[in-house]
Structure 1
């Protein structure tokens, strides 16, 4: 069987899907690296909502996907930007997600860490959307979310805050807010530096648009509280900057790569160290990524790279600019893989990528053997194409 796929140039081409998936196995967590997949949420397709309504989540399908990730030995990074926080999922929905997923993790023995932010502070929609807030408001919002995550029994990931980026007057405000939070954290946390390519509202985070100056402030926060920082998640899509940064970390503080462009080389590491992983691309790559890391556990770096390097083209495609819409491709591939029964997203974000973009994502994912049932993926792809008027 073949399928006609439209391309970005306006022309279609004939693609022959592979008949069999890549063979992978389930298994225990890894020895060589700590690896989290930032997991997406599954929308309820039957809810009568609009893009402005609170998110309607299919909790059964959402938790089933997390069990799928745990079954392959991956940890789940919950309520991160992959779950559309700030892009359809509000704080009330995120709080419920944290409670449910943390309970599920405890029940199955899965590794979990949850995002702590300030998104209960709504933007006003004006030219100065956070102008009515001050540092005390930001600090209190962080504290509320940190308390919930700690009460759930999960590790906390202190996410970058749009509100803090807006109200902070300089590096000293970041030092004050993060210092306060780290002093009161019950257990070591992960600090998350999310670049503006993922969220334009975070431009100038850590008090400067100069990345060297921002890195200096980031390191100052860590140096002041090394016992309260388990690690850092770096999402700047700059491999050399991440390498330079991880070499400056205090002993015992990990670097979790969030670089969806360069993750194989960063996880493999060099003679001076390596990165662990907390990646959105490990949502669709879960079983394959797990197979690669298990290979790395044996000391076979070449085998690890031979499995993971071919996935970079798909990842760079999904995360191409505007990068924040990578979530559409993630959910699309979950639908094709049979992890959910529909291609619907909270906030209507399934419309955020073009048909040629989705067609290329299908082709690349199928070529990697990511679909457990290639025939199902092909049938669903043809269904989508027919809705766009593409005849087969």
Structure 2
């Protein structure tokens, strides 16, 4: 058991969670090496909507989510894809999710997730201030809009009655509604604005800033794919080389399950794949917060030089080829709405690492620690995850109880 700050650490994974774990350890005096393939800016850490979603305190492993599945299926115009060829991956996951959705377990999960989300924005503010880029985080909320009176009435009532954690939700003002109406050729029947949620203004700039800060603190990158992690913290790469440290942290996203399994830890992850298209923003306002077109399960975000439309929840294996129909659906939504997304439009796919209870895995076993499985909340929770895990590894008491996130819950 680690009861002091480790002098050296290896972090496996250079996504936003891995980088934040590495930075948090460095701030506590640990010399850190990051081991990851040399493929930056392509994973789910950088392909998301940039939304700091502190309002999402209810785990998606819920009876309400399960009841909504039929109407959300991709084959019926929704954003949920369950490819028949991947049934061997998503059916066992679905059964575990059903068990996790039982009311008592859901309530415990919500309490744990709410506590972690409440620390998310302050943690990011500390990280970005330390990296010298505080303006990359904008805490000015987001909009949810509807296109028909019926969906607007139902959606508004649901959100106004929902628990949204540290965020608040209100009706859009007349001026806000008028502005939103100019974005689309489809009339907007209703809108609400969330206050207290946030946005990263430029994912690429974020990755560059965190990487630069890591290198400034004598961090080192080793490019390669990890084959195995030993209980003593030794890491073996595919090329046979080994690296040793006081602690090895597994933060490899959807690839993490295979690394913890030989250590006796069960992590029933699935690759919950998301798609986006992005292009020149045209005249989309640079200061507009993210806009969720809830009837289409699509979020549109303006970054520094790009406009991104993101959607789709596709349960599949991580190596399943992308489905061009998903990008076609996104393009069709953009065209139908008449959004200001101009060519060249680029497609993207990435795998969100998701566990059946929709809680992350954060914890340690001796000289091995882990931080993965953050599903849709990887960007949101990465800074506070890094701080909490680093505190745990130095023998301290994290600001949030990490017991609900220990992998022992799947034993």
Whether these two folds match at TM > 0.5 is: no
Higher relative contact order (CA 8 A, sep 6+): 2
| Structure with more strand by fraction | 2
| Structure with more helix by fraction | 1
TM range (shorter): under 0.3
